[in-house]
Amino acid sequence: MTIQKVLYLGYVWPEPNSSAAGSRTMEFLRLFRQQNWQVIFASAAALSPHRADLSALQIEEKQLTLNCDSFDAFVRDYQPDLVVFDRFFTEEQFAWRVERQVPNALRVLDTCDLHSLREARQQILKQRLQACHNERERQLILQAASDASLVYQQMCQNDVAQREIAAIYRCDLSLMISGVETALLHDAFAVPKYLLCENNLMLMPAPQVQTDFHQRQHFVSIGNFRHAPNWDAVLYLKQAVWPRLRAKMPDAQIHIYGSYPPPKAMALHQPEQGFHVRGWAEHAHQVMAAARVCLAPLRFGAGIKGKLADAMACGTPSVTTTIGAESMHGDMAWGGVIADQLEDFVGAAMMLATDEAQWQLAQQRGQQILQQHFDRTLASQNFIAAILQAREQQATRRLQNFTGAMLRHHSMKSTQYMSQWIQLKNQGITQITQTTQITQ
């Protein structure tokens, strides 16, 4: 069984300059085109002004309507050999239609990161914060949890984990970006290894001219404001880190960048305190390469953090948490400092900003991580090989995966009937509106 046509069902239109997920999607699309596979990217999301130019890759764009049989006709006419679902909620929305119209298509889920893990860590953080007696205690909490059993218990109590892992079982292959998440799914949730493909492929910036310590200035933080871990990190920077760091470095300045900043984020802009909220950065790698140190106090999250990969590529040492650096450096020393206590985080930021020798060492370590842990050529080859192997073994794998078949039968039927009910409801509203207009 070969692959000639690909349908990529996006939750959103890819924005490589806004998020690591957008960068990863673009890498996949480029690889598909390099195989000379025909690709259509389809999404029900509104068109974004920051989306990538897919026409440059000769990729057709298709705007979809949710809960509508028009998708059935489209996918039946196109007859894709490979369908990629961008995150589990896209699989929930469209997989039953794909299976009904093109049952022989290989179904692949790109998890981007394990949403249920991120949400579990967020809930644990909230519980820890609620147990605090005052603001000072709350500011000292820089980690959600390190106890794997506690995270597992929290995930089991959350229907997001049930939905996400069910989607993984229903697909022929799921793309994982984090080794921690792959191990969690296999060891704790008993997901068979053949259903998981661990690959940290993501779009890296071109190597920057490595300006030296004295040519750079200020701290920088960057991340999509719509992403909950990033917004929490900005608030933590403002409320906990910056007052302490500024007390030790009165002239310190930090510049906060990120796409889609809400008014509440821009309200944090206080130049007199050295805290600058800049919003969208048209050239994110340029602002990263101009900074001396990147600060990323991520208290919860999952997957690989694009901002920290960008920092290493731009030669910018970073201070982050264990969760921030998770699955990004193997057994190699971090390209900066990993700190899970507030005072350690502040001290590390000050040290990297003022100690040229330590700054240079951190920069070198970041380059080593990129070369050894993010080998783009090897990751690309392994990705295509995994897709082709899954296609070749598709029939056998589906026979082995009875759990997936069972979940498709039960879950997909309920999703199908709900979608059809919504479609009929929408049609009824449209007919009533049209009748009213004619009467008037």
- pLDDT for 148 equals 86
114-133 pLDDT per residue, tens: 999 999 999 999 999 999 99
In this chain, the answer to whether the domains covering 5-120+124-204+377-427 and 213-369 adopt an identical fold is: yes
Strand partners, 61: 41
- pLDDT for 17 equals 77
317-372 pLDDT per residue, tens: 999 999 999 999 999 999 999 999 999 999 999 999 999 999 999 999 999 999 99
- pLDDT for 184 equals 96
Amino acid identity, position 365: R
- pLDDT for 177 equals 94
Write a three-state SS string for the chain.
Answer: CCCCEEEEEECCCCCCCCCHHHHHHHHHHHHHHHCCCEEEEEECCCCCCCCCCHHHHCCEEEECCCCCCHHHHHHHHHCCCEEEEECHHHHHHHHHHHHHHCCCCEEEEECCCCHHHHHHHHHHHHHHHHCCCCHHHHHCCCCCCCCHHHHHHHHHCCHHHHHHHHHHHHCCEEEECCHHHHHHHHHHCCCCHHHEEECCCCCCCCCCCCCCHHHCCCEEEECCCCCHHHHHHHHHHHHHHHHHHHHHCCCCCEEEECCCCCHHHHCCCEHHHCEEEEECCCCHHHHHHHCCEEEECCCCCCCCCHHHHHHHHCCCCEEECHHHHCCCCCCCCCCEEECCCHHHHHHHHHHHHHCHHHHHHHHHHHHHHHHHHCCHHHHHHHHHHHHHHHHHCHHHHHHHCHHHHHHHHHHHHHHHHHHHHHHHHHHHHHHHHHHHHHHC
Give backbone dihedrals phi and psi of 399, rounded to 5 degrees, phi first.
Answer: -65, -40
Strands (E), 112-198: 173-176, 196-198
- pLDDT for 409 equals 81
Alpha-carbon distance of 37 to 60, in angstroms, equals: 12
Give kind and range of the element (H or E) at residue 82: strand 82-86
- pLDDT for 402 equals 95
- pLDDT for 201 equals 85
Structural fold of domain 5-120+124-204+377-427 = Rossmann fold (3.40.50)
Domain assignments of the chain as residue spans, ordered by start: 5-120+124-204+377-427, 213-369
Measured from the Cβ of residue 71, the count of other Cβ atoms closer than 10 Å reads 22
- pLDDT for 399 equals 96
Q: Does domain 213-369 have CATH number 2.60.120.260?
A: no
Which segments of the chain have a pLDDT < 50?
Answer: none
Alpha-carbon distance of 64 to 42, in angstroms, equals: 6
Residue pair 110/83 in contact by the 8 Å Cβ criterion: no
